[in-house]
Structures are given as structure tokens and as C-alpha cells.
Amino acid sequence: MNQRLEAQFAFLLEADRLRRIERQNLILDCSRRENSAEHSWHLALYALVLAPFAGPEVTITRVIQMLLLHDLVEIDAGDHPIDADVDWQAVAQAEQAAASRLFGLLPSDQGAELLALWHEFEQAESPDARFAKHLDHCQPIFQTLYGASPLPDHIEVVHGNLFGGRAAALEQGLPEAYHHALSVLGEATDKDCSALTQRLPFLNEADALKTVLRATWIGDGTRPENSAEHSWHIMLYGWILSEHAKAEINISRVINMLLLHDIVEVDAGDAPIHGTQSPQAQQAQEALEQAAADRLFGLLPAPQSEEFRTLWDEFEAARSPDAVFAKAIDRVQPVLLNLLNGGGSWLEYDVSFEQVQSRVGVKVTRGAPAVWSYVENRIAPWFEENQKP
């Protein structure tokens, strides 16, 4: 068991490096470039929200899983803008080598499964892969077109992408996205895109999660992680570690919970687990999150608004097996990041080993006892060395 967990965590901690890969496009407020980890989270959200546009043969959970891992190869191969003058054959070879290395970190059965899923996405021949590709093509377009102050050359890239570029396939595969993009560019179109446009406010508001900073720092210790990339990382954690759940779980529901669980922080901000909060402050934070859930999920049309809100409420209540496991995963990921970056928020908040056990270990043990047993053994030496007498 420990060897299997060792391999799984080796992969998950290596995946953290995707946060350092900058993309060409900007986040919606145009304050900085987007990184590939938060991009992958946003694509997963696009998949869940735009599921009604997928054909009946499409399995949305597989689409989300493809999008969670599709850019991991950029850790080794880098990101290459679609308008860049590069040797695309060499890029493809580099990505193949990266996929073999990264997925090879996992236990052989899981590594083979993820590598096959990555190849399926790249080949874009299955219904799931084609829909995932369409989302990968349309999300950067809308992020640019709805940006606070998009760069003129980025608008030109969007235009060229729609007219003859890879996004031209949206005209057949996701016509509402294609025609709405044309209309935003000022092109004439008579396509009714209302089913799509009534969902874009939620997707655009969610982009702000990329600006919500958490107490935990990324693995290399250079900056705090944000809540969008955190959500991506714990979705990957939940998927890879699902076999260690204490009770039988539905991994599709767990992944969706983790995808949505921090959306409320767009309005309410993040409340650090090791921060000192009075009962009154905790109640105030909960009220902020409830109001945020009302507003944000209320941006979606029915029945999605009710479905997403119900799933978020279930996660918060942490009574169902799915929610208990999702909460466990939400707690364990920051622990591994702190260990990776030399202490992180443990140092900032002067956290003891006993506090980690009571604030984190109890909840992780509820959902995944074998995972906490492994993690506890990993972090104990750090606290023995760094704990104040």
C-alpha cells in the first residue's frame, strides 16, 4: 500500500509544477497571464456547465478527466501559442516523451489508464475527446473577448482562429460558441445562441477565482496558490486517490464537488484553516459563503443552478460518503504542499503537529484513513526537526 501511495503522491506533487507554465492568454481582468493549471480547472468547469451541448454519446466525467490532465505534458514540453512559429512535429515528440515520463510516475495500472486517456484526447477521434477539444478551443476565445482590456493582437489571434484556425471546427461541433464569438467580434450571424449566453456570466464570474489567494504556497515556495489552481489540483488528488476512500464513493460526484467547492470564494474570499477566527467570525464567513452561493449559482439557468447549489451544499454538510471523501482530499493537498515548500503556512501560522492532526488529520481519516496514515508518517519528521520545544 505504501509503495502505491508513494507513487501516487510522486505524480501529484510533480503535477504541481503545471502552475509555473504561463499561457499566452490573460485572465479575465487582464492583470496577468493565465497558467496552465488554472486553465485546466476552468476548462473542467466549462465542461460541467456546457454539458447540455454535448451529444448523448458523450460522458462528461471522462471529458473533465481529459481536461484535468491534457496539459500536464507542458511541465516538460512547455506551452506553445497557436500562432507561434515552432516545429510542431518536435513539440509533439516532446509531449509524447513528457506523457510517458509523467504518467510513468504512477502505479502501472493508473499510469496506463491516464496515458491512454491523454492519447485519446490528442487524437480527438472519440465523442468525448472531440467535445473536450471544442471546449479547449472556445474557452480562450471567450476569455479574450470578455476580457477587461484585451490586447489588440490577442483579438487578432481569436479572429484568425475562428476563420481558418483550429477553432473553425466549432462551427460544426459547438455552433453556439462559434456564432456567439462572431457576434462579439461584430460579425453578422442569425444563430440563436441564448442557451450558451445565459451560462457565460457564471463562467466569466468564476474566472475571478484565479485571483483569490490562499494561505498555502505552491510547491516551489515562490508564491501563494490561488483557489482556481487549488481546485484543479485537488480534483486530480481526488481522482488518483479515490481507491483509498473509506466508504464506497461515486468519483464523478466527488470530482464535481471539488470542481465547485471554492466558487463562493469569488465573493467571500478564502479563510485559512490555521488562521485564528472567533466563533462570530466563523459565522460571518459562513454567511458570506451562503450569500455567494446564492448569487453565483443563481447566475445559471434552471435546473443547473439548483443542481450545482445542491452539490455545493452537500459538500459543505460533509455527511454523505462522497462529501466526506471530498472534504478529506481538500484537507490533505495543502499538507503535502507545505511539506514540499519547506513548511509554508505551518511556519507562517506557527502550527504544531498536534494542530495539524486535530484540524486536518481527523477530517482526512474520516474519508481516507490510509491516506492520512501515509501523510502523517511523511510530515512527522519535519515537525520533529522544526517544532519549537
Classify residue 358 by its DSSP letter.
I
Label residue 387 by pLDDT band (50, 70, 90).
confident
Beta carbons within 10 angstroms of residue 111's beta carbon: 18
Q: Give strand pairing partners of 224.
A: 217
Rank 7-11, 220-224, 334-338 by mean pLDDT and report only the highest.
7-11
Mean pLDDT of the chain: 94
Is the pLDDT score of 87 beyond 70? yes
- Looking up cell 454535448 gives 54
Please say whether the beta carbons of 233 and 261 come within 8 A.
no
Q: What is the largest CA-CA distance in the chain?
A: 72
Whether 261 contacts 326, CB under 8 Å: yes
pLDDT digits (tens, 9 = 90+) for 274-292: 766 678 888 888 999 999 9
What the block records as the C-alpha cell of 178 is: 462559434
Cell digits for 11? 505524480
Q: Which residues contact 268 (CB under 8 A, 6 or more apart)?
A: 285, 288, 289, 291, 292
Segment 360-380, tens digit of pLDDT: 999 999 999 999 999 999 999
Residue 261 pLDDT greater than 60, yes or no? yes
Looking at the predicted structure, is the pLDDT value of residue 32 above 90? yes
pLDDT in the model for residue 272: 78
State what percent of residues in the chain have pLDDT above 70.
98
**303: preceding bond cis by omega (within 30 degrees):** yes
85 — pLDDT class (breaks 50, 70, 90): confident
Whether the pLDDT of residue 389 is over 60: the answer is: no
Distance of CA 389 to the CA centre of its chain: 39
- Amino acid 121: pLDDT: 98
**pLDDT for position 274:** 74
Task: Give per-residue pLDDT as tens, 348-359.
Answer: 888 889 989 998
Q: How far apart are CA 214 and CA 348, in angstroms?
A: 12
Identify which of 55, 70, 48 has the alpha carbon closest to the alpha carbon of residue 121. 70
Q: Give the sign of the dihedral formed by CA 15, CA 114, CA 172, CA 43.
A: negative
Chain segment 54-81, per-residue pLDDT in tens:
999 999 999 999 999 999 999 999 998 8
Tell me whether residue 288 is exposed, middle or buried, using C-beta atoms within 10 angstroms of its C-beta: 0 to 12, 13 to 18, 19 or more.
Answer: middle
Question: Are 17 and 233 a contacting pair, CB within 8 Å?
Answer: no
**Which position has the higher pLDDT, 271 or 351?**
351
pLDDT digits (tens, 9 = 90+) for 320-340: 999 999 999 999 999 999 999
How high is the pLDDT of residue 1?
Answer: 65
Residue in the block written with cell 452537500: 314
Which of 34, 48, 47, 105 has its CA nearest to residue 73?
A: 105
Residues 6+ apart with CB under 8 A from 164: none
Q: Per-residue pLDDT tens for 94-153?
A: 999 999 999 999 999 999 999 999 999 999 999 999 999 999 999 999 999 999 999 999
Q: Report the percentage of the chain scoring pLDDT > 90.
A: 87
* Alpha-carbon span 341 to 339, nearest angstrom: 6
**pLDDT of res. 245:** 97
Query: What is the pTM assigned to this prediction?
Result: 0.97
pLDDT over 90 (residue 182): yes
Q: Which of 5-19, 129-143, 239-253, 269-283 has the lowest mean pLDDT?
A: 269-283
